[in-house]
Structure 1
C-alpha cells in the first residue's frame, strides 16, 4: 500500500494542478482567495530563486561545454545542469504567467510547462541515481571499476534517461494531467504506473547507494579524509531528498481534500526550485574548500570540485599534474 502511494506521489508532480474550489489560478481572477498575499509572496520568492539558480546552472553549462575537459562524471553534471536549467526556466515562465495572469496563454503554458517539468524532474532524479551508484561501485570495487567501467557508459545512461522520460511523461501530461484530450481511466492509470515505477526505482537506487557511501565515509573517516567528490554527491542527494521529495508528497495528498494544506502546497513549489538551484553553489563551495583565494577563476574551482580520481580514462600522472596546475592557477 505504501509503495503504490509513493508511486502515485512521484508520478503526479504538477505545478498547475487544479486548486480547491475556493482558490484562484491568478491574483486577478474573480474568486476570493484568502491566500492571495501569501501566494504572491511565495511566488515572487520562487521567481527570484529560479532566476539565481538559472544563472548558476548556466555558468556550469558554459564552463563544462567550452572550458573544462570532459570526464565521465562531468558529463553527468553537464546533463544535470541542463535539466535543472530547463526546469528553472519553465518555472520562471509559469510564475510570471501566474503573476500577470494572461488567460489567453493559460492552456498552452500549462501544457508546455507541465511536460517540461515532468521530463526534467525524471531526468534529474535518474542522473542523481546514476551518479551515486557509479561512485558507490568505484569505492566498493575499485579494481573492477577501473578495469570494466565502459568509457561510453555515461553517454548511454544519459541518452536512455532522456529518451525514457520523453516517451513516458508527455503523453501522461497531455491525456491525464492537463487533459487536452480525454483518455480512459485505465490508460491514465497504466501510464502513471509506468512512470511512477521508473521514478520509484531510481529514488530507491539513489537513496541506497548514497546511504552506502555515507556509511563508508563514517567507517574510514579516522584513516582517510573523504574525497571532495563523494561529499559533493552526498550533499546533492541530501538537498534532493529534503527539497524535491516534499514536492512529490504534496501531490500525493493533494487529491485527498481532507489532507490538503495550502501552505505546504505553495512551499513545496519553492523547495523544488531550491533543489534545482542549489547544485551549482554546492559545486563551487566544495571546489573552494581549503583554497581560500579571492580571485580564483570559477573554471578552476569547478574543475577541482568535479575531478574524478577513480576515472579509468585518466591516469594518475595526469591527475597529479592537474592537481599542481589547479593549485597554482589564479
Structure 2
C-alpha cells in the first residue's frame, strides 16, 4: 500500500496515520457514512452549535470591546482573544462538511488555510493567556511599576508579538497539509513526506510551546498572586482574577485531551485505530468548544451577575469586561498607596 495520512473525521485536526494499516482498513474507514453513526452525527451537531455560538458571541465581544468601550489594557486582552476565536469559528463550516462527508471538496488552499487557522487560534490564545497572567502577577507584586508602565501601547506591542510568534509556529501545519484523491473522494491530510518536517518534531513542539511551557508560567504566576494576596491581606476575595482564572482553566480542560491523543497517535501501532480516531474526533471538538466558551465567561463570571442579568446582553458584556479593569485599577491604587508608605525609594 502507498504510504499516506488520511483524516476521516475532521480536516482541521491532526490526522490518524494509516501507513501501517492495510488498504482494506483505510477504505473501510473512508467509506463510512457519518449519518449512519450516532456518535459522528452528535459531533457534527455539536460543532454546528459551536460555530453558531462562537461567531455570534465573539462577534458581540469584538463589537463591544472594540467599538463601544474606551481602550484599556484589559479590553486589549479581551479583544485579541475574541478576534482569535472569531476567526477560528468562521472556518468551522469547512470542517463540519468534512466530518459529515469524510471528504474535502474545498481544494488545496483551504485545506492548508483551515489547518493553519486552527493552530493560529491555539497558539495565539495560550500566548495571550500567558501575557495576561504575567500582567496580573506584575500588577500584584510590583504595583507602583505597573501603575506607571501598564499602558495600552505596551499591551498592543505584546499582543502583536504574540500574534507574530503564533503565525510562525502555525506555518508548519500549512506546509505539511496536502490533498489526495482516494477513490471517489478528495482527502485533506498531512503529508510529511513532501517536506523535511518530522511528525514527531511538530507534535512535540506544539505540545511544549502551546501547552507545557505556558502551563508552567501561568501556574507560577497565579501561585505568586495567591501567596502575595494572602501575605498582604489586602483582599479577602479572588474576584479580580475570577474571569481570567476561569478562562485559563477552560483553555487547559479543552486542549489537554487533544494534546494527549496527538502524542498517543505518534505511537499509533500500539493503540486501537478506532479508539484513536474517536479520541481525536472528540478531543478536537472539545478544543473547538474553547472558542465559544470565552464570551460566555466574559458575561457570567463578572461580579453582580444577578443585576447584570436584568440588563440587555450588550450591557452585560460591557460591564463584565469593564469591571475587571476597574477592579484592577482600584487594586493598583491601593497597592501603590501601601508601597509609598512602606518606602520612599520607588
TM-score scaled to structure 1, two decimals?
0.77
Aligned to 2:262: 251
Aligned to 1:263: 278
Q: State the Cα RMSD in Å.
A: 3.5
Q: As a proportion of its length, which structure holds more strand?
A: 2
1:77, distance to aligned residue in structure 2 (A): 0.6
Q: Distance in 1 between matches of 2:16 and 2:109?
A: 15
Tell me the SS of whatever aligns to 2:260.
helix
Moved more, 95-104 or 42-51: 95-104
Q: Distance in 2 between matches of 1:39 and 1:160?
A: 38
Q: Distance in 2 between matches of 1:104 and 1:285?
A: 39
1:120, distance to aligned residue in structure 2 (A): 1.4
Aligned to 2:16: 18
Q: State which of 201, 211, 219 in structure 2 corresponds to 1:207.
A: 219
Aligned to 1:84: 85
1:239, distance to aligned residue in structure 2 (A): 0.6
1:124, distance to aligned residue in structure 2 (A): 0.6
Q: Distance in 2 between matches of 1:23 and 1:39?
A: 18
- Mapping of 1:128-277 within 5 angstroms? 128-175=129-176, 178-179=190-191, 182-185=194-197, 197-199=208-210, 200-214=212-226, 219=230, 224-226=235-237, 228-257=239-268, 258-259=270-271, 261=275, 262-277=277-292
User: Does the CA contact (< 8 Å) of 2:35 and 2:100 recur in 1?
Assistant: no
1:172, distance to aligned residue in structure 2 (A): 4.3
Moved more, 98-107 or 282-291: 98-107
- Larger Cα Rg: Structure 1 or Structure 2? 2
Structure 1 38/192 Cα, relative in aligned 2: closer, same or farther at 3 Å?
A: closer
Aligned to 2:8: none
Structure 1 259/14 Cα, relative in aligned 2: closer, same or farther at 3 Å?
A: farther
1:64 aligns with 2:65: yes
Aligned residues between the structures: 300
What residue ranges of structure 2 are gaps of 5+ in the alignment? 1-10, 178-188, 334-346
What residue ranges of structure 1 are gaps of 5+ in the alignment? 1-12, 317-330
Aligned to 1:115: 116
User: Does the CA contact (< 8 Å) of 1:168 and 1:191 recur in 2?
Assistant: no
Tell me the SS of whatever aligns to 1:242.
helix
Structure 1 221/164 Cα, relative in aligned 2: closer, same or farther at 3 Å?
A: same
